[in-house]
Amino acid sequence: MEDRLVIGGESLKSRLFVGTGKFASYDLIPAVIKAARAQVVTVALRRMDFGTPAENMVEYLPKNVILMANTSGARNSAEAVRIARIAREAGCGNWIKIEVINDQKYLLPDNFETLKTIEILTKNGFVVLPYMSPDLAAAKRMADAGAAAIMPLGAPIGSNRGLKTRELVEILVSEIKLPIIVDAGIGLPSQAAEAMEIGAAAVLVNTALATAEDPVLMAEAFAAAVEAGRKAYLAGPGASSRIAEASSPLTGFLDEK
Give the whole-angstrom CA distance, residue 45 versus residue 72.
Answer: 8
Which among 97, 140, 164, 177 is annotated as catalytic? 97
Cα dihedral value 78, 178, 36, 72, nearest 10: 10
Beta-bridge partners for 200: none
Give the whole-angstrom CA distance, residue 147 versus residue 133.
Answer: 15
Give the whole-angstrom CA distance, residue 2 versus residue 17.
Answer: 19
Give the whole-angstrom CA distance, residue 133 versus residue 139.
Answer: 9
At a CB cut-off of 8 Å and minimum separation 6, what does 87 contact?
Answer: 45, 48, 69, 96
Is 123 marked active-site? no
Annotated catalytic residues are 97
